[in-house]
Amino acid sequence: MTTPSILSVRALTKSYGELEVLKGIDLDITPGEVIAIIGPSGSGKSTFIRCLNMMEVPTSGSFKFRGSHVLPEFKDKAGTLGAGTLRRKVGMCFQHFNLFPHLTVLDNVTKGPRVVLKESQVEAEAHARALLAKVGLADKENYYPSKLSGGQKQRVAIARSLAMRPDVMLFDEVTSALDPELVSEVLQVVRDLAEGGMTMVLVTHEMAFAADVADRVIFIDNGVIAEQGPPQEVMHSPQSERLQQFLQRFH
Ligand code: ADP
Ligand code: MG
């Protein structure tokens, strides 16, 4: 028996006007799997990962979450899942963390659960404190974002996503905007999540990290999955010239 997919896309395309950015992507993500997406700038990595929580609506193709068709309408309809539900199940962190500047760290993390999941303050704060401890920021709960370093802000952003109790986490170049000395503290949080069994898709230019943490590496080139496989294969025996050239840039 094969493991049922948590997310499954078939022949997914995305165009902006005349520009076809994604040209037919098939992917099944199994529970607990960690997928790293690599590829040149402009190849469609962000567009793809944003389609996985319907922040971008695919132009065509099929998209299922735990076997249910996902539709772009916000609300669920008979037998299908709406984008609203999907976004609660599939959390996302970006390069720019977009914390609420007028809220403390603790309030940033409890806001979503209180408003969207209707958690009580006591429940939301207990969960938030556990998550802040997990990302190494237990002592910062009363700080405002402006008083934090970039690495700390990104870790709050991750805790804030986790507070929604997602089944899948998407990370789009979460360390790209950070000063080099702050990268490892954020990667460590992502690594801990992977080791804790979180299903994840991460777009990254940190090749050593991708090789280390991912179960599968996917090379997106010009809107298609050009190569994929275990990190050893993809990183150390690239088949295509395009991937060989791409990887050379990181040596
Ligand atoms: P990557 O993340 O791999 O660098 P992106 O997915 O951000 O690539 O972008 C892929 C292509 O889609 C680029 O040519 C980009 O200019 C274009 N693109 C992305 N978002 C939009 C948008 N909202 N409107 C028009 N074009 C877009
Ligand atoms: Mg991108």
Which CATH number goes with the domain that contains 241? 3.40.50.300
pTM of the full structure: 0.95
ipTM of the complex: 0.98
Any domain includes 153: no
Q: Which ligand is nearest to the CA of 17?
A: 1
Residue 1 has what pLDDT? 62
Ligand 1 pocket test: pick from 15, 20, 43, 47 the residue with the most ligand atoms within 8 Å of its Cβ. 47
Block mean pLDDT (10 aa), the chain, length 251: 88 97 98 98 98 96 95 88 94 92 98 96 98 97 97 97 98 94 95 97 95 97 98 95 94 77
As residues whose CB is below 5 A from the ion ligand 2, the structure lists 45-46
Residue located nearest, by CA, to atom 6 of ligand 1 = 44
Q: Spell out a b/e string for 20-33, using b for 16 or more CB atoms within 10 Å of the CB, else e.
A: ebbeebebebbeeb
Q: Which residue range forms the structural domain that includes residue 78?
A: 7-100+168-248
Any domain includes 20: yes
Any domain includes 120: no
Any domain includes 79: yes
Q: Which ligand is nearest to the CA of 42?
A: 1
Residue 234 has what pLDDT? 97
Total domains, the chain:
1
Any domain includes 136: no
Residue 74 has what pLDDT? 87
What is the rounded distance in angstroms from the CA atom of residue 57 to the CA atom of residue 60?
A: 9
Any domain includes 180: yes
Any domain includes 35: yes
Angle ∠(158,187,34) on CA atoms, nearest 5: 80
Any domain includes 74: yes
